[in-house]
Chain A
Amino acid sequence: MKLAGSISLPASPDEVWLLLTDSSRLAKLLPGCERLEPDGPDRFKAAVKFGIAAITGKYAGSLEFAEKKPPHSLVLKMDGKGLPGFVQGQGRIELTPTAAGTELTYSGEAQVGGVIASVGQRMLDAAARKIVQQFFDSAKAELASLKAPAAAPGARAKSARKANR
């Protein structure tokens, strides 16, 4: 399953970089993140509860930063295991300065195994896109609130493009 897209963020690449690489702030952005604890340099233990409506699953796993080039790009690696199976993914995030702040582009791949993979085909892509979008929406809202605490949360992320798995 491939995921790619972009979003413009109302902050400089440096500010975006700080947000994404600060585990305590990142934990608040990750949908369903219940815990994110350091586990070595650029590595964290994570407990996440993913879900849509009644369909939920708890995953325990790790999150890792690699190929860090502040404030330009980094690779985010994630893997988790839970009762519904396992999730593995990695994605490259690139930050480009723009007049309005930063254009963030992302592209990555995720693998899912277990029950979700065998019965969830119909909704998997859309669910993954939704989770990614929630993440970037939260990031945008967070950055916007720093700029203008009273402002309304930003618009939704630009549509995520993806290829079929």
Chain B
Amino acid sequence: MIPAAFEYHAPKTLDEALRLVERHGDEAKLLAGGHSLLPLMKLRLAAPRYVIDIGHLRGMSYIREENGRIAIGALTTHSEIENSELLATKCPLLCQTASQIGDVQVRNRGTIGGSLAHADPGADYPAAILALDAELIAANTSGTRTIAARDFFVDMLTTQLHPGEILTQIRVAPRTELSGAAYEKLHQPASGFAIVGVAANILLGEGGKSIERAAIGITGLAAKAFRAEAVERALTGKTISDKLIEDASRGATEGVEPLSDLHASGEYRREMARVFTRRAISRAIEAARGGPSRGRA
């Protein structure tokens, strides 16, 4: 468990970090919490020539309100998100999701930016940020750009980020009246990754009897996290009933090639995607109606 030799850089400012990634391109890897990169390096499955440790950058770890949105610095740890009072009231889905990542040690080290940029097919955040229609801010030496969550995930371990870019911020809209969200996950018992993780974000119609808008993000099922549009379509504008939710959840796997591994066959993953989609939607509706799921899981 000893990595191959690499050159280590620990920039103090974002500008310095951006210059380094620009110079070294895809020979460089960014080190944030280190929970994905370091094990790969120790197994020598990854051997980047340059490791740029952005863990020392100042001002990249925060959760704050900006122009009516919640902005989260990319270096914010999972436990900071889990325990944020601001998020507990304005975006409880992120608290709930963070609380289900790995274990306490992982949550104390791992960062939201690191997790999203790594794009592990079993990571938890992607489901939530998809369901929240989050915006991801990426910077390079010439400026910043905004990437919609729906466009961010390209494939297994692959995102829209270009070499030379650093993910700096995640922005989400605060929850509104009549909206509710929930993250439901079947964890892989060894690693804690999601075999299937479903984030549902539901806006109810006036009176709370029907669904005005639904956003469903699913992780773990396929090579990349995705929005379950068939489920969303089946729910939108409909009157809530157990049958509606049950039937809509069947669409969770539409057009999806499920992953299959030692821990869950494709067939089982498919079935679990339906079960957990149903559970997430039910809990999200409950939360929207002011039920017990409003806060943390």
Q: Which A residues have a C-beta under 8 Å from some C-beta of B? A: 52-57, 83-84, 115-116, 119-127, 129-130, 159-160, 162, 164
Contacts and interface: CB of A to CB of B under 8 A. Distances in A.
B155 A119 contact: no
A121 B44 contact: no
Given A53-B119, A84-B45, 18 more contacts: A53-B158, A54-B48, A55-B46, A115-B43, A116-B45, A120-B45, A122-B122, A122-B188, A122-B263, A123-B121, A123-B261, A124-B261, A125-B260, A125-B261, A126-B121, A159-B257, A162-B260, A164-B261
B36 to A, nearest CB: 9
B176 interface: no
Nearest to B47: A56
A74 B260 CA distance: 28
Contact of B156 (A119, A123, A159, A164): A123
Interface of B: 29, 37, 40, 43-48, 118-119, 121-122, 155-158, 188, 191, 193, 223, 257, 259-263, 265-266
A56 B40 CA distance: 10
Contact of A53 (B157, B223, B263): B157
Nearest to A163: B260
24 contacts: A54-B40, A54-B157, A55-B45, A55-B157, A56-B45, A56-B46, A116-B45, A119-B43, A119-B45, A121-B262, A122-B262, A122-B263, A123-B157, A123-B261, A125-B260, A126-B121, A126-B156, A130-B155, A130-B223, A159-B257, A160-B257, A162-B260, A164-B261, A164-B266
A55 B40 contact: yes
A144 B47 CA distance: 37
Nearest to B156: A126
Contacts of B122: 122
